[in-house]
């Protein structure tokens, strides 16, 4: 899973593992993110200082890796979700910033659990480069610099939804048209349920995405411990908790385009999960399934970078 945060670190994905300064601070002291930061002709809409308030704060530029300095700028920031301070990351293409117009966005939901697979300063830039869009991501509660506990798609799903709220109502530099969410590995447990509940999500990119926690519990001994510790129950004790996190059981509720990538020999998230989900998704939505014969988890091959861009830009 961590490796996935390295290609979609190399991308989308080398560990997607799939490879925003001055002017008036128009949002400072604003107590509610329900009001969008409004830019004037004199305001740089990509000046992150404009978006600081009591619920979104601490923007700092980070070292994203010199390879991408000529392409995008990456920031780390904090936002409040259910009263918890959650860490977030944001990467903006310089070409988009130059236009001083809102840009389209991909939200990236990383894999792993707790600190394993957490976002790093250099995680989003490769994804930004591959997608050629603004990329934003939540660290989720209980991971990295975020407060709270990891519930593996439980209450921590609110951290994803709250970030979408910010994209729509607070970050005026984000164009919500065609808002895409990419989920890698465990990120599938954050992405599919979010799309099930939130109609603002218009597309899904699934990278070795976990979509059946019952199977995950059965086939991997290490996942038994992870799931019992984060969810708090076994599948036998609370099957409803596992079902809510498993898209394969309610795939008919996903009505938006999905682009799936999965290696046939994946040892972390069995290929069979993607197969079963695809068979259900293709009956009720536009679903493209790209497979590989290797065992690399979350990796999107370089030859498919253009495929991702074309898919994102198609009508």
- Could you give the CA distance from residue 185 to residue 299 in angstroms, rounded to a whole number? 10
The answer to whether residue 87 scores a pLDDT higher than 50 is yes
Asked whether residue 130 is assigned to any structural domain, the reply reads yes
Q: What confidence category does residue 22 fall into, taking pLDDT thresholds of 50, 70 and 90?
A: very low
What's the 3-state SS for the chain? CCCHHHHCCCCCCEECCCCCCCCCCCCCCCCCCCCCCCCCCCCCCCCHHHHCCCCEEEEEECCCCHHHCCCEEEEEEEEEECCEEEEEEEEEEHHHHHHCCCEEEEEEECCCECCECCCCCCCHHHHHHHHCCEEEEECCCCCCCCCCCCCCCCCCHHHHHHHHHHHHHCCCCEEEEEEEEEEECCHHHHHHHHHHHCCCCCEEEEECCCCCHHHHHHHCHHHHHHHHHHHCCCCCCCHHHHHHCCHHHCHHHCCCCEEEEEECCCCCCCHHHHHHHHHHHCCCCCEEEEEECCCCCCCCCHHHHHHHHHHHHCC
Asked whether residue 26 is assigned to any structural domain, the reply reads no
Residue 204 belongs to what domain range? 4-19+53-313
Asked whether residue 48 is assigned to any structural domain, the reply reads no
- Maximum Cα interatomic distance, the chain, rounded to a whole number of Å: 59
This prediction has a pTM of 0.88
Each residue of 103-140: pLDDT tens digit? Answer: 999 999 999 999 999 999 999 999 999 999 999 999 99
Name which of 7-11, 112-116, 164-168, 185-189 the model is least confident about.
7-11
Percentage of the chain lying above the pLDDT 70 cut: 87
CATH number of the domain residue 237 falls in? 3.40.50.1820
pLDDT at 189: 98
Asked whether residue 219 is assigned to any structural domain, the reply reads yes
Asked whether residue 41 is assigned to any structural domain, the reply reads no
- Could you give the CA distance from residue 231 to residue 143 in angstroms, rounded to a whole number? 15
The answer to whether residue 31 scores a pLDDT higher than 50 is no
Asked whether residue 45 is assigned to any structural domain, the reply reads no
pLDDT at 42: 61
Q: How many domains does the chain have?
A: 1
Each residue of 260-296: pLDDT tens digit? Answer: 999 999 999 999 999 999 999 999 999 999 999 999 9
Asked whether residue 207 is assigned to any structural domain, the reply reads yes
Asked whether residue 27 is assigned to any structural domain, the reply reads no
């Amino acid at each position: 899973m961590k490796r996935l945060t390295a290609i979609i670190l190399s991308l989308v994905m080398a560990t997607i593992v799939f490879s925003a300064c001055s002017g008036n601070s128009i949002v400072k002291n604003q107590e509610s993110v329900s009001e969008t930061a409004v830019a004037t002709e004199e305001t740089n809409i990509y000046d992150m200082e404009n978006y600081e308030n009591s619920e979104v704060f601490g923007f700092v530029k980070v070292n994203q890796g010199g390879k991408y300095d000529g392409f995008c700028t990456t920031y780390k920031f904090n936002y409040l979700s259910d009263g918890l301070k959650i860490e977030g990351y944001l990467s903006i293409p310089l070409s988009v910033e130059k236009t001083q117009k809102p840009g389209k966005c991909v939200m990236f939901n990383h894999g792993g659990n707790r600190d394993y697979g957490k976002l790093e300063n250099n995680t989003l830039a490769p994804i930004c480069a591959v997608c050629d869009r603004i990329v934003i991501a939540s660290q989720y509660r209980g991971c990295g610099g975020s407060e709270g506990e990891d519930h593996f798609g439980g209450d921590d799903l609110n951290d994803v939804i709250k970030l979408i709220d910010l994209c729509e109502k607070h970050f005026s530099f984000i164009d919500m048209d065609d808002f895409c969410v990419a989920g890698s590995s465990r990120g599938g447990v954050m992405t599919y349920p979010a799309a099930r509940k939130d109609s603002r999500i218009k597309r899904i990119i699934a990278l070795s995405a976990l979509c059946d926690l019952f199977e995950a519990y059965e086939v991997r001994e290490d996942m038994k411990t992870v799931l019992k510790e984060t969810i708090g129950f076994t599948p036998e004790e609370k099957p409803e908790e596992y079902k809510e996190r498993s898209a394969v059981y309610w795939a008919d509720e996903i009505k938006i385009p999905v682009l799936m990538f999965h290696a046939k020999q994946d040892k972390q998230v069995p290929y069979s999960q993607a197969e079963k989900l695809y068979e259900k998704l293709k009956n009720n939505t536009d679903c493209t399934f790209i497979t590989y014969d290797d065992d690399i988890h979350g990796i999107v091959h370089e030859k498919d970078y253009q495929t991702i861009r074309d898919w994102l830009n198609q009508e």
